[in-house]
Structure 1
Amino acid sequence: MELPPGPREDPCAWDDDSDPEPEPDPDAQAEAYVSRVLSPPQFGLAPLRAPPLSAPAAFSGAPEPRTTSKGPSVEVPGLLSLPPELLLEICAYLDARLVLHVLPRVCRALRDLVRDHVTWRLRAQRRVRAPYPVVEEEDFDWPAACIELEQHLSRWAEDGRWAEYFCLADGHFASIDSVLLLQGGTLCLSGSRDRNVNLWDLRQLGVEPSRVLVKALGAQKNSTHKGWVWSLAALDHRVCSGSWDSTVKLWDMAADGQQFGEIKSGPALLKSRRLHSSAVLALLADDRHIISGSEDHTLVVFDRRANSVLQRLQVGPPQGLEGPGLHVAQPELLYPSSLPQLDSYLLCMSYQEPQLWAGDNQGLLHVFANREGCFQLVRTFDVGHRSQITGIKHSLGALYTTSTDKTIRVHVPTDPPRTICTRSHHNVLNGICAEGNLVVAASGGLSLEVWRLQA
């Protein structure tokens, strides 16, 4: 009976005088290894199985081959035999998120290499090539910072040519002074001098333009407040709006933006503290501190637990360092209130412990460090704004500023900050918010300026 066609035994296969198999090429082996372990997992595939033994081998009584003898007995160099420096060089060409979340699953050696924070510190410094971060801290999250840095640099590469731009001009009929992103950047709130708080659905950008503006919050017919809406803040799904009508209104975004409370100045006020001699223009709070910047040229740190003023700092660049460029303040210099007042006062702040970044009315950025409960001015920078800095957003790997000079500037938060993109506008910009892949600026020209970045 004729056998079906198939592979035939090579009579030379058992010849002891045959040429030895060529050793694998290390470069090809490394390339195949990286391609295999770093490719996306394919789910639902059946596991690979060894081919069945041929009939003669199965019934000849010959001993089964040992499972431990695979290929030549000579030890072949592999990817993991490379020096750590070369492994890091290979990893530098891979996405930081992939390196952090995938490589540790391959083997213990790669896991130990990836989990070493020195690895990430070197990677971050290689990317920015400048002192980073501005405020040194012992438990700095280098992996998270590196991921955000690389994402930020990629999104704004080539002067931000890949960022989608939208102008939302139909919604307010007066200057917009505050903006707030919610739910990872899917929703946006804007507060205006037309007394309204508008809700926007940014998921509809470029899809259904007529559905981007959802509504104005509140049950009143003409406006949300009875005065200009000056500030917005959120905690989870709860939002508060502050107005010149001396009220703070509370909104539940989980209930379609329904109002659930109102705070008024008056006899019902629980507590009042007069911490400044002039208007408070910038305010931040966490579970420990209330931080306020005022037109009286001071920054006050209030300790909520001790119910007392922790610090009162005079705001302004060190004397003798006037002019454009980098201004360096010694960490121990706190500008006591006994010093004569300077021309600078804070208009906006962004706080991610232990770094407090603030912009002033002279176009300068000030960086304070919270060191064991004591805020210290460590740096003052000129980032190129020609007038007041009205909005600032700082995070581990990104920095945004807006100004009355009609520009938004995108920076890398190094020492000094490196500006990687500048966008000019036809009117003053009054604030900025960034979350997820959305950046939104409030315009005095009655519009919201929106940039949607690469996800």
Structure 2
Amino acid sequence: MASAREAESENDSDGEASEDIERQAMDYVSRVLSTVTLQDKASRPPHSLPTGAQEEDIQYGSLDMKKSPVSGEDGDVTSLLLLLPLELILYILSYLDARFILSVLPLVCRTFRDIVSQEMTWRVRVQKKVSTNFPVVEQQNFDWPSACIELEEQLSHWSDNGKAECFSLADGHYASVDAVLLLQGGSLCLSGSRDRNVCLWNLRNLGKEKEKVLVKPLGKDKTGTHKGWAWSLAACENRVCSGSWDSTMKIWDIGAEGQMVQDIRGRAAILCLAYLPDILVAGSYDKRVSVYDPRASTPLIKSRKIHSSPVLCLVADDRHIVSGSEDRTLVVFDRRVNAVLQRIQLENYLFCMSYEAPQLWAGDNQGLIYVYGSHGGTFQQLRCFDVGHASQVTGIWHSAGALYTTSTDKTMKVHIPTDPPRTLSTHTHNTVVNGVSVAGRTVAAASGGQAVEIWRFPE
């Protein structure tokens, strides 16, 4: 008797015949990734809802900006500085590094500790830096100090006098690089290519020992890591999964020098992945979203055809699986009730996503960026931004203080995630840019020119 997992995996079977994977992949690229003449974006003004806080709207609580933060009863006035109005103290602190303020000033005295612990301190500081709405999606328990630090470092890194080191890793692949993933805080990098290889790079040796930067292609097969294009990558701690047009997902243990620990066969080309501690989620060419438990002897948990075209991108957390498809839908699957929660019809199809609840940022095939907010278990589109891309957005990476986008228009753009995003830098390449990954002070981009492009900032 077939197991429950096996039975569920056969749901929605349509008996599609397999075809030559190389031809299938080429047809896909021609259809989905070819540079197209875009619609007139100017005729479709960005959808916008009034969120975020302007400077005059910031709530200062019980603190009076015009008065000193210390009272006559305070016994820790160690400096005349603290007798100044709070507004002037914050102005003076704006000349200090945000990390220094957060780590050192609370140790000086109780008054400084109280100032640093106030959300208002960081909201005012951010507002002075960006002069527009931030964050795009208001949320409870937003980490204002961390967001402020990251935003200020982003502004500093990509300013005209920024000191980024740039490297082009061109000796590992002989075909277009379509996936890139930074690991261990940016000290390691993985890249997946149409040459069928997944390469491991040791970025600690950048600028030192060039021959030791490329560690090796993963796997022992001389024909390549996979038997089809290596198209997608995802990581969970020291485990990495690579997905391929050969319909397989291979799991590698980076802590064991990239040894393969599992080979999972799917039903069709694996176009996107999400890797969590308890599940591995794959979106495939046959319109399915499949869920696996790599720890189990029979990994497949369920496989459902919830789209009518190939699944191009997905993200997941402990509650939701969100997938975008060439069928121009965004589907939200609720893991807790094991059912589709939402199906959102779109004008264009989404090609890439970056998610950290409650914010979902996504790029589409018309060069636009969308922001969704999740509230009460459902997702709602809040914003649509034109950040200047002339064709498909192939990669997006978002955090509290940074935003990176790549495109088939041969550019990578660096922004701060304000409303609207403020573009700090545009890097033009000789060919398409297929994806981006960011970790710590390192940025990696996948280039159609057979290379991995690296930017690294000093400590």
TM-score, normalization by structure 1: 0.76
CA deviation string 1:240-278 (max 9, x = no partner): 000111110010111111011111126974321111000
Please name the residue that 1:283 is paired with. Answer: 314
1:122-172 superposed Cα distances (whole Å, 9 cap, x missing partner): 1011111111111011211111100001011001111x6521111111111
Matched, 1:445 2:446: no
Counterpart residue number, 2:433: 429
What's the counterpart of residue 72 of structure 1? none
Partners in 2 of 1:87 and 1:143 — Cα distance?
17
Q: How far apart, in 1, do the equivalents of 2:351 and 2:81 lie?
A: 54
CA change 1:147–1:77 in 2 (3 A) is: closer
Q: Indicate which of 78, 86, 89 corresponds to 1:87.
A: 89
CA deviations on 1:210-252 (whole Å, 9 max, x unpaired) are 1110000011122101111110000000000001111100101
Partner of 2:166: 165
Gaps (5+ residues) in structure 2?
A: 1-76, 268-297
| SS of residue paired to 1:226 | coil
Superposition pairs for residues 194-343 of structure 1, below 5 Å? Answer: 194-265=195-266, 269-315=300-346, 342=347
Alpha-carbon displacement from aligned partner over 1:18-45 (angstroms, at most 9, x marks no partner): xxxxxxxxxxxxxxxxxxxxxxxxxxxx
What is the rounded CA distance, in whole Å, between the counterparts of 2:247 and 2:322 in structure 1? 20
Q: Summarize the alignment of residues 158-197 of structure 1 with structure 2, pairs less than 5 Å apart.
A: 158=160, 161-197=162-198
Q: What pairs up with 1:21-32 in 2 under 5 angstroms?
A: none
Change (3 A) 1:446 1:76: closer
* Alpha-carbon distance in 2 for matches of 1:307, 1:252: 30
Work out which of the two has the higher radius of gyration on C-alpha atoms and give 1 or 2.
1
Say if 2:102 is the partner of 1:100.
yes
- Shift in Å, 1:101: 1.2
**Structure possessing the higher relative contact order (Cα contacts under 8 Å, 6 or more residues apart):** 2
- Give the match's secondary structure for 2:102: helix
Aligned equivalent of 2:395:
391
Distance 1:169 1:262 in 2: 28
Helix, strand or coil at the partner of 1:151: helix
> For residue 381 of structure 1, what is the aligned residue in structure 2?
385
1:148 to 142, 147, 150: 150
Matches of 2:193 and 2:266, distance apart in 1 = 21
Letter in 2 for 1:375: F
2:422 corresponds to = 418
Change (3 A) 1:235 1:150: same
1:195: Cα distance to partner? 0.6
Amino acid at match of 2:259: Q
Contact kept in structure 2, 1:401 and 1:410, CA below 8 Å: yes
Measure, in 2, the Cα distance between the counterparts of 1:77 and 1:388. 56
| Letter matched to residue 239 of structure 1 | V
Match of 1:356?
360
Hey, what does 2:290 align to over in structure 1? none
Give the count of matched residue pairs: 353
CA distance in 1, matches of 2:320, 2:178: 25
Q: How does 1:360-371 map to 2 (within 5 A)?
A: 360-371=364-375
Residue 132 (structure 2) aligns with: 130
Contact kept, 8 Å, 2:416 with 2:424, in 1: the verdict is: yes
Query: 2:288 — aligned with what?
Result: none
> In the aligned structure 2, how far is the partner of 1:77 from the partner of 1:421?
41
C-alpha spacing 1:83/1:228, structure 2 compared with 1 (3 Å): same
Name the aligned partner's letter for residue 271 of structure 1: K
Partners of 1:349 and 1:356 within 8 A in 2: yes
**C-alpha contact 2:156 2:162 (8 A) present in aligned 1:** no
Following superposition, which runs of at least 4 residues in structure 1 exceed 6 angstroms of deviation? none
Q: Secondary structure at the match of 2:260?
A: strand
CA distance in structure 2 between the aligned counterparts of 1:121 and 1:265, rounded to whole angstroms = 48
Task: Give, in whole Å, the separation in 2 of the partners of 1:269 and 1:422.
Answer: 42
- Secondary structure of the structure 2 residue equivalent to 1:270: strand
In structure 1, C-alpha distance between the alignment counterparts of 2:250 and 2:355, rounded to whole Å = 24
* Offset, 1:454: 3.0
- Partners of 1:416 and 1:426 in 2: CA distance: 28
Separation (CA, whole Å) in 2 of partners of 1:440 and 1:290: 26
User: Aligned in 2, Cα 1:185/1:76: closer, same or farther, shift over 3 Å?
Assistant: closer
> What is the rounded CA distance, in whole Å, between the counterparts of 2:358 and 2:78 in structure 1?
49
Contact 1:155 1:454 in 2 (8 A): no
Residue 453 of structure 1, CA deviation? 1.7
- Residue 453 of structure 1 aligns with an amino acid whose one-letter code is F
Q: Distance in 1 between matches of 2:266 and 2:337?
A: 24
| Distance in 1 separating the partners of 2:417 and 2:149 | 14
Q: Which amino acid aligns with 1:138?
A: Q
C-alpha distance in 2 between matches for 1:397 and 1:358: 16
Partner SS for 1:179? strand
Identity of aligned residues (%): 62
Distance 1:379 1:449, change over 3 A: same
